Structure 1
Amino acid sequence: MKVFIIGVSGAVGRLLARNLTERGEDVSGLVRRDEQRMALLTQGVDAHVGELADVTASSLASMLGGIDAVVYTAGSNGGAREVTAAIDGEGVVKALEAASLADVNRFALVSVLPEAGRGQNLSDDEEFYFAVKKLVDVTVSVSDLDWLILRPSMLVDRAGIGRISLGPAQPHDEIAREDVAATLAELLHEPRIRQQILELTQGSTPIINAVRANIR
């Protein structure tokens, strides 16, 4: 499998790239700086350098020759509105169009649980972030691609436990980024899971079993 990760230098993107390369998959992606590209090369990842906000759908499509799946893990984490609009909004739409132009049918998006941050006196910028995420989820879900939207609960930096809870609706809790990446890798290898929105949090079910339970 050849996988192109937008956000490959980010926390989840790097972990996903490592998981996939350890499986023997061919991983490439988009990074902002040449030093990021060089660091990823040492891990067996061939990245292109470019600003997501500046590349066009057609130029992004030119990077996707022979790719089997595009995974979008980039995100602004609820910062300034212009960044959220460019990365969480326009960037996803651009990537979706690029996948279509390049005849890449499989498209996976890492989104966010709608309940995340509720009751925490969110700022206007954070509310804007959740609104953009929702609109983009809708845009992806009405596309003709073989899409998948994964909504993890609060991401934490600790070792993964390899056990999750995965399904159409999950409570807002927390989950290790390692487990998110491992779940994504399993989902990419399960073609029968397609055109679904799945929510993800820590749980008691082994990842591979949780993925298989969502085959329909």
Structure 2
Amino acid sequence: MRIVIAGGHGKIALRLARLLAARGDTPVGLIRNPDHADDVRAVGAEPVVIDLESATVTELAEKLMGADAAVFAAGAGPGSGAARKETVDRDAAALLADAASLAGVRRYLMVSAISVDEGPAPDAEPVWAAYIRAKKAADDDIRGRSLELDWTILRPGRLTNDEGTGRVWLAPKVERGDVSREDVAAVLVALLDAPTTIGHVLEMVGGNTPIADAVASIGA
């Protein structure tokens, strides 16, 4: 399968690309900075340079032509202000969905964040609050696209760089906790092969259930 990953130089995206390449898929990493191309190639992915904050839907759709799935794993990242939470975490997710629809790519995976439907706490730091609101808005937008996209939204808990355990807690609602980026990437791979997860919003943290079993239980 040809899988296009938005945010191709991100920590989850690089891990996802490595797993996809290892099993014989063709991952494509969308990156803004051409200096990141070698890092993308190093994990077995094809780098494609495009700025999701300035590209048109037609320009992005051209990059998606022939793909089997699109994965939104982009984010403004630490140190960015509230405005970029909107232009990347919210608007770029919608742009990728629009482009996927235009290119005829139905399968769409969204990497979101745990508990965003609850909104930010009243005393939340302003940029963090903007991030939570942006993620929720993006998720709400995707949830309204069932006629055009076969979507699944994955909401991980607090991300770590720990080695993956291969075991998670995956369900519509889980308690807050940590999860390794490696395990998030492995769950994304499993979701691509699991049509029973289409139309589901899933939270995940580290747990005791093997990833294959956890994903197979959704919609079964």
Fold agreement, TM-score > 0.5: yes
Question: How many angstroms apart in 1 are the aligned matches of 2:18 and 2:43?
Answer: 7
What is the letter of the counterpart of residue 97 of structure 1? D
Corresponding position: 1:110 with 2:108? no
**Partner of 1:135 in structure 2?**
137
Question: What is aligned with 1:8?
Answer: 8
Q: CA RMSD in A?
A: 1.8
Q: Deviations over 1:21-57 (max 9, x none)?
A: 1111011121122221133223321111122111111
1:119: how far off?
6.4
1:69 aligns with 2:69: yes
Q: Find the residue that maps to 1:62 and give its secondary structure.
A: helix
Map 1:177-188 to 2 at 5 A.
Answer: 177-188=181-192
SS in 2 for 1:208: helix
Deviation at 1:82, TM superposition (A): 1.4
User: Tell me, which stretches of 5 or more residues in structure 2 are unaligned?
Assistant: none
SS of the residue 1:30 aligns to:
strand
Q: Which amino acid letter does the alignment assign opposite residue 39 of structure 2?
A: A
Q: Which amino acid aligns with 1:159?
A: E
Greater helix share, structure number: 2
How far apart are residue 68 of structure 1 and its match? 0.4
Q: Can you list the C-alpha shifts for 1:156-179, whole angstroms capped at 9, x where unaligned?
A: 111011100001001110100000
Secondary structure at the aligned position of 1:195 is classed as: coil
Q: Distance in 1 between matches of 2:111 and 2:88?
A: 12
TM-score, normalization by structure 2? 0.93
User: Could you say which residue in structure 2 is the equivalent of 1:49?
Assistant: 49
What amino acid maps onto 1:99 in structure 2? A
The aligned length equals: 216
Where 1:147 maps in the other structure, the secondary structure is: strand
TM-score scaled by length of structure 1 = 0.94
Amino acid at match of 1:103: G
* Corresponding position of 1:197: 201
3-state DSSP of counterpart to 2:98: helix
Q: 1:213 aligns with which of 201, 211, 217?
A: 217
Q: Could you tell me which residue of structure 1 aligns to residue 101 of structure 2? A: 100
1:164 corresponds to 2:168: yes
Query: Which stretch shows the higher mean deviation, 116-125 or 84-93?
Result: 116-125
Conservation of the 8 A alpha-carbon contact between 2:14 and 2:43: no
1:192 deviation in Å?
A: 2.3
- Aligned residues: percent identity? 33
Q: Give a deviation string over 1:2-39, Cα, whole Å, max 9, x none.
A: 10000111000000000111111011121122221133
